[in-house]
Copies of this chain bind each other. A is one copy, B any other.
Amino acid sequence: MSRKIYVSAKEVAERAGVSRSAVSRTFTPGASVSAETRRRVTEAAHELGYHVNHLARGLMRNESGIVCLIVSEMDTPYRASLVRALTRRLQSQSKVAMLINTDRSDSSVDQALKQAISYRADASIILSGMPDRSITDLCLRSGQRLVLINRDEDRDGALMINLDDQEAARRALSAFLEAGCRSFAFANSEVMTPSLMAREVGFQAAAREKGLEVTVERYGSTTYQSGVVLAERMLEREHRPDAIFCANDLIACGVMDVARHRYKLAVPEDLCVIGFDNIEQAAWSSYQLTTFAQPVEEIAVRAVEWLSDHRPVEIHSHRLGTQLIWRGSVREAKS
């Protein structure tokens, strides 16, 4: 099966009886072509099924139109929705997403960034892991733009988009307090992403300000199964918490299921739960989880608008707010 079958501008030019440059210009917005030439070219192109070769164009322009999304566990609800929002946004700016899957290891993120470089991506958006500084430097030096989402470490020249996790944690605590809760716990994974840690630390700090203690438990990664284990550990105890703030909606779902099915606790009467992310399942009637909504759409907008912003960049960091979505996993305030 031969392969050099794509039709080229040259063939279109011959068919249309014009020079090759005319073809090129026809497909270059803002170039100078007469209406007649353009017509003949587009016609010939259509007949032959010609499409500009973006690889060659990228070679010339030093601008491939490719943006790499570097992400691990992308089948997780929150990640998936973010990836979707980003690809949509990119497409609307006539860029295209190259999806690179990593495991949690930073070395695989390094590997992914090298891929990005090889394909001369205009930018890379990192949703998981933290690459080595030498690699990010290389990216930046190569003229690539870099966006870090929810990774706190600094990289000069990269755009960092973060949430106000601490603020959210404080709100969570006051929601619990208004509901009359007395004993607080935080259910975390062992992943220790800065943003996850900020939730934990923020929750603890807010409690301490009120003279309250928080039991922190950590286990595994940010999954439903971890939530199951965490809940078992927490609810086994003598003094069970009556309020659990979870690093994550998935964990929260696991916690709720164990609380209800295994310990026969009623949510929110016996136990209040707050999650984070507002994944789709949080709204399902089995959970009705009160949680913080990540501004996924806004994250995508900010990330992508920064990519196409050709001015020398000033703002390198956004801290976006989250919205507390009230559902049924926290008691109504006693009025």
Q: Is A173 an interface residue (CB 8 A)?
A: no
Q: How far is the CA of A253 from the CA of B2 in the complex (A)?
A: 49
Contact mask A115-152 → B, CB, 8 Å, 1/0? 10111100000000000000000100111000000000
A96 near B98 with CB under 8 A, answer: yes
Q: Closest Cβ of chain B: how far from A117's Cβ, in Å?
A: 5
Question: Closest B-chain residue to A114, C-beta based?
Answer: B51
A101 near B77 with CB under 8 A, answer: no
Copies in the complex: 2
B75 near A80 with CB under 8 A, answer: yes
Q: Closest Cβ of chain B: how far from A173's Cβ, in Å?
A: 27
Binding site for B on A (CB under 8 A): 1-7, 49, 51-56, 58-59, 62-64, 66, 69, 73-77, 80-81, 83-84, 87-88, 91, 96-101, 114-115, 117-120, 138, 141-143, 224, 228, 253-254, 257-258, 260-261, 280-281, 284-287, 310, 312
B120 near A53 with CB under 8 A, answer: yes
Chain B residues, CB < 8 A from A115:
96
B55 near A64 with CB under 8 A, answer: yes
Q: Which of A4, A7, A101 has the most CB of B within 10 A?
A: A101
Q: How far is the CA of A138 from the CA of B312 in the complex (A)?
A: 41
Q: Closest Cβ of chain B: how far from A141's Cβ, in Å?
A: 6
A141 near B98 with CB under 8 A, answer: no
5 sample A-B contacts, Cβ–Cβ < 8 Å, listed by A number: A4-B62, A83-B99, A88-B101, A91-B101, A257-B286
Q: How far is the CA of A258 from the CA of B119 in the complex (A)?
A: 49
Chain B residues, CB < 8 A from A96:
98, 100, 115, 119
Question: Contacts A99-B99, A114-B51, A118-B51 given: A143-B6 contact, CB under 8 Å?
Answer: yes
Closest 5 CB pairs of A and B: A75-B80, A80-B80, A286-B286, A75-B84, A75-B81
Chain B residues, CB < 8 A from A119:
54-55, 96
Q: How far is the CA of A78 from the CA of B175 in the complex (A)?
A: 34
A74 near B63 with CB under 8 A, answer: no
Chain B residues, CB < 8 A from A73:
84
B91 near A83 with CB under 8 A, answer: no
